[in-house]
Amino acid sequence: MASQPRAFSFENKVEAVFPEKPEYLGEFTAKKIKQKGYSYSDVNTFLVYSLVLLSDKKIFPENEIENQIGKLIEEYRQDVNGKILSNEIKVNENGKTGQFIIKSNHKKYTIYSYSKVIYDNGYIYYWSVQEIEGLSTVSGKKIFDDYANLFRLIK
């Protein structure tokens, strides 16, 4: 049985919340961008937690960062053929962040992805909690709302 979610450190760059130590999925390239992935599937609650770190540094002009985060969210939506239900981009002590919810369908299931993205000094980090409608026994939105503030840069 999974324990209470808690923050784990990744590469001394970010902290992200998982119920247990996530599995390292390795390095991969998507859309010509090197990435590293981590995931934990909670078999008791049917929630999936994931973290993606983009390894390639990409500096955007300050006035373009919010627009670029919006483009990344749109690319994610396209990748899962989903619908954006909410999207908020803001600036805080953790750099520029975006929080968004995407609803998508996979086979016969509806999946809600509650996600946060952080842009800092040319690097991009994604953390998400995915809920499977009709199977998940815990609200992914509640977990996300309770722990999104713990997804942060390590400074």
Q: Is the pLDDT of residue 33 over 80?
A: no
Q: How many domains does the chain have?
A: 1
> Each residue of 133-150: pLDDT tens digit?
999 999 999 999 999 999
- Does residue 37 fall inside a structural domain? yes
Residue 147: its pLDDT value, please?
95
- Exposure of 8 by Cβ count < 10 A (0-12 exposed, 13-18 middle, 19+ buried)? middle
- Does residue 88 fall inside a structural domain? yes
Phi, psi for residue 128 in degrees, rounded to 5 = -150, 155
- Among 110, 107, 118, 50, residue whose Cα is nearest residue 82: 110
- Does residue 12 fall inside a structural domain? yes
pTM of the predicted protein model = 0.90
> Each residue of 37-89: pLDDT tens digit?
999 999 999 999 999 998 888 888 888 888 888 888 888 888 889 999 998 88
- Does residue 20 fall inside a structural domain? yes
User: The domain containing residue 21 runs over which residues?
Assistant: 6-153
Say which CATH number the domain at 81 has.
3.40.1000.10
